[in-house]
A and B are shown apart, each in its own frame.
Chain A
Amino acid sequence: METSEQFSNKQKQISISEFFEKNKHFLGFDTLQRSIITAVKEAVDNSLDACEETRILPEIRVEINRLKGDRIELITQDNGPGIPRNDIENVFGKFLLGSRFHAIRQTRGQQGIGITGVVMYSQLTAGSKTQVISKIGSDSSAVYVELGIDTRKNRATKSGERREIWLDDLTGDPVLHGLRIRTVMRAKYQRGRQSVHQYLRMTSIVNPHASISLVVRDRNGEMIEEGNWARTTEKLPREVSEIKPHPHGIHLGSLQRLLREAEERKMTSFLRHNFSGVSMRAARDILAAAGIDEGRTPRRIRAEEAQEMVSAFQKVKLLAPPTDCLSPIEDLLIKKGLSKAIDSRFASTITRNPKVSNGNPFQIEVGLVFGGNLSAEGPIEVLRFANRVPLMYQQGGCLLTKALEAVDWKRYGLEHPGGRGIPKGPAAVLVHLASTNVQFTSEAKEAVADNEEVFEEIRLAMLEVGRGLKNHLKKNSQRKKAREKFELINIILPEISRKSSQLLSREEPDLAPVITKIMDAVFCEEELDWDDERKLAICSITVYNYTARARAYTILAKWPEEDGVRIDENALGGRKEAKGLWAWRLDTLNPGSSTTIFFTVSGLTKGEWSEVDVFYRGNGEVIGATKIDEKLLDELRKTEALAAAELELEQQTETMGHLSDRAEHNSPDPATEPTEQVQPTLFDNYEAEE
């Protein structure tokens, strides 16, 4: 764990305070409405980053109070590591100070331009000093300080510094560590799609490990808006490692800087030490291609030689950069985050494998929710994120939007007039781009710039969630048809019989043969409930035989089997066929009879499991279930056995430390989790047969 002292020691300084003053529109302070969002964003992003780096589960409070005129008081508070007394001026008073500026890994704020902007904006528009209370764990008291900025000298002006005991104003308890910022600025609070509320809501979706709250008060102290987004997972984002730049992504200027600062004596070691993906052999190949002697001293390389090296980088075969510098949210957590913020019926999420573009690792995640309270009118909501930061402006010009628009959504069950633009319907789509180097269209960092490889990855991810939606809708319509039939034979038909017999004063006919004629099929109806008290998912599957012959079936149900997630009650004695796919053999069903399978699953949270896929083995068709593909099931079993054997082998060679690490992060290893990937094929195959 990195201490906050070490963290701030890495900070380097670049003087552009004056640049900011002249260009504040680039930095999100161009309108009064936007300024408050930007200010909240800078503070919250910093808090999340600091908590993540120091492995703290974040609790963030945002308070906005409207003051006289167009002034707004903004207070943000976190439980992060705090900032050591001596670093406060640096953190709040300099641009491009971030440790992240020189390191290559995925962080929220990419260029360290940020909270300083808030201090400066407050000073310029309201003449307000920014008050900071910071408490670090190792100090007994907190530091209080008021900050302004000398934009000419690019440094903070500090005043009123004192030590104090910081008591939380909600709980009254002493604060162990954390940071509180209070400032006043000219700004305008507004609601809607582009608001602080929306920004925090989006932030909470992609940061399910954070608890975030918002209170907005009017001039008379009356609360006019609030938000409370509770933490839905204790799991912190994966700790990301820093990587060295990859030759494919380096520009001449950066290369020259590296060469200048190099301490290596030979070019081969320079290449191997300063870049990722460069083996000894690759280093030699690069130098040969660039016509540079291996033994040359890096500091003596001339500009035109560096230029030769840059072209050589593209010619030589290199290893891809490592991708553990990325921190995807992971599909299950996206599902949780989305279902927390949006009340929907169906969620489909996907985390693609990391890819590399121009030497920059990147990873795409997409989530789609459908139905429930979502409005069926108008275009769907698009939630864009780059490195867990919500993008709220310039939706149309953003690569993430363009990739979404490129999908033919009509095929997946959404309205998409003319196949262009944002599709319509009761849905919301989340797109997250995680990358060590997100290219934006402008300094404002609101729209991702075009990139073919990223575009294609998003498109593929969209197709995947689209297929999920299509299956869901198909199931819905099957279910609706089955429900209608049930209503018909259980309610309408008996009433027709009763009424007509009454009118005619005749005896009621026996309806059993009529029902068999109307239905003439086997129906399967499944229901999934959540017992909030017992924290159990309750699944029941009923099979009705409305044919004239006796039937025998084995019913298979898919459920999210995993470590810690298991079947509790299982009255009919289902057995495991493959991981997450269990089977129940039913007794012979006579015409007109039905049977219900009932089981409960523990170890899940609400919303984590929203759909049961039901398969059957037996003759004829079962409406509401899919015939199991035995061949694919066999393959699935084999893959699973193989993966299990591999895992065992791996465990034998792994140290105990690794094991506990694995358990803590519980990161799904693709090799051991074949069900998610193979199961959809069972269904796809069924579709193809149609």
Chain B
Amino acid sequence: MTINRQKSKDEVIEALHGVASEMHDRMAKGVPPTMTLPVRSKSNIGFDKRLGVYKYGKKKTVRDATALGSARQLLRALHITEFVEGMITDGKTSTLREMYYISEGWGHGKFSTQNESNNLAEDLEIVTKCLREDFGLRPEEDGARIIGNVTFEERNRKGDWMRINCRDDVGDSGYGVPYNVESEKLSLIEEDVDFVMAIETGGMFDRLVENGFDEEARCALVHLKGQPARSTRRIMRRMSEQWNKPILVFTDCDPWSFRIFASIAYGAIKTAHISEYLATKEATYLGITADDILAYDLPSDDLSKQDSNALVAELSDPRFSTGWWQEQIQLMQEIGKKAEQQSLAKYGLDFVTDTYLPEKLSAMGLGY
């Protein structure tokens, strides 16, 4: 299933009507209406060799109107269709949160949480093979921050292109990545870096910035803000593709951070329908690894029950099926410990930039 970018308005509306059509056809036949979509779990993602990322497989789930919950979902899908059709016709966009509030007026089709509406918007993307941007829906979450000697051009609200160098034209908080990083909004102009480093936590990002690591190591620093937003993953993908720079991912050492890496490198389970747009298959996991906890004798915490369960789940996650990951996960289970990025501060504030990262980077052939 591949999503074709740049769909015309009519194509989007037609795709959405396909959803309504499935329901109507069934009712006309005297059977309960349904909505068919791929199973969205780790059991139904597989490696697409052609694209080099993980995509949904062939398993389908049929949501039918024989139970109240799924019948409501069907009704909501119709309401979204109507709403999106209206926006497309009027040339408007709205945030997912706005749509959630607008659903207050949808009577029995209203959402009870925003998570529900976000998920259903994703469902519709998958079924219609459109992007939510095609629907005029955008996230309110902002993307990441970038600091380093790279230059973008962004089209501002007035419609003018603005040139921004992410080292010289920004403050300490860096360049804020907009929610839309497609070519109509953002161009990659030039760079003078050797690699891009994505960092999980704000604390570590700020530490590297304060220590001037971006200049010293000639890199662009990207703050992921936990599980990275679509635009964050997309801009890393574009930097990797267009500038051909290695992407290194620097996170905590715990099962959730492994998933952050997997969503960057292989595609997230929730967005596997657009993995080829978001995933950067060239991304490399830099640390902190379970080995590092032992090698650097880092302060660590015991794994919680949830942590242990997450590790077990990851062992059977196809994205972690490589030998290196299996080893890391098993080692972590063995020592029963996890560690934060900032545990490196045990050896002083400069340890991460003076010792840890240089050692890790030279092991990868990126020494400076």
Contacts and interface: CB of A to CB of B under 8 A. Distances in A.
Interface stretch (A51-59, A126-134, A219-227, A495-503): A495-503
Given A484-B68, A485-B68, A499-B78, A504 B30 contact: no
Contacts of A511: 27
B72 A492 contact: yes
B31 A491 contact: no
B17 to A, nearest CB: 6
A514 B32 contact: yes
B32 A518 contact: yes
Contact of B65 (A493, A499, A504, A510): A493
A511 B68 CA distance: 16
B68 A496 contact: no
Given A495-B108, A517-B31, A488 B24 contact: no
Given A496-B71, A503-B85, A514-B32, A488 B65 contact: yes
Given A503-B17, A503-B20, A514-B30, A496 B81 contact: no
Interface residues of B, number: 27
Contact of A503 (B33, B66, B75, B81): B81
A518 B65 contact: yes
Contacts of A484: 67-68
B24 A495 contact: no
Given A500-B78, A513-B31, 20 more contacts: A487-B108, A488-B65, A491-B108, A492-B68, A492-B72, A495-B107, A495-B109, A496-B74, A499-B78, A500-B20, A500-B33, A503-B17, A503-B20, A503-B78, A504-B17, A504-B24, A509-B27, A511-B27, A514-B31, A518-B66
Contacts of A502: 82
A487 to B, nearest CB: 6
Interface string A498-528: 0111111010011101100110000000000
Contacts of A485: 68
Interface in B19-35: 20-21, 23-24, 27-28, 30-33
Interface in A648-668: none
Nearest to A503: B20
Q: Quick one: which of A485, A503, A510, A513 has the most chain B CB within 10 A?
A: A503
A674 to B, nearest CB: 41
A500 B71 CA distance: 13
B109 to A, nearest CB: 7
A488 B79 CA distance: 17
Nearest to A516: B30
B43 to A, nearest CB: 28
B28 A509 contact: yes
Given A492-B65, A503-B82, A518-B65, A513 B30 contact: yes
Contacts of B85: 503
Contacts of A518: 32, 65-66
A232 B85 CA distance: 63
Nearest to A485: B68
A517 B27 CA distance: 11
B229 to A, nearest CB: 31
Nearest to A520: B66
Interface in B53-69: 65-68
Interface string B1-29: 00000000000000001001101100110
A496 B30 contact: no
A591 to B, nearest CB: 13
Contacts of A488: 65, 67-68, 71
12 contacts: A488-B65, A492-B74, A492-B75, A493-B33, A493-B65, A496-B33, A496-B78, A500-B21, A503-B17, A509-B30, A514-B30, A518-B66
A485 B69 CA distance: 10
Contacts of A487: 68, 108
Nearest to B31: A517
Interface in A280-307: none
B162 to A, nearest CB: 40
Contacts of B66: 517-518
B78 A493 contact: no
A496 B28 contact: no
A504 B20 contact: yes
Contact of B23 (A491, A500, A513): A500
Contacts of B65: 488, 492-493, 496, 518
Contacts of A506: 24
Given A496-B78, A499-B82, A503-B17, A509 B67 contact: no
A510 B30 CA distance: 7
> Which of B23, B24, B33, B82 gathers the greatest number of chain A CB atoms within 10 Å?
B24
Contacts of A496: 23, 27, 33, 65, 71, 74-75, 78
A364 B24 CA distance: 63
A602 B21 CA distance: 55
A493 B81 CA distance: 17
Contacts of A497: 24, 27
A499 B108 contact: no
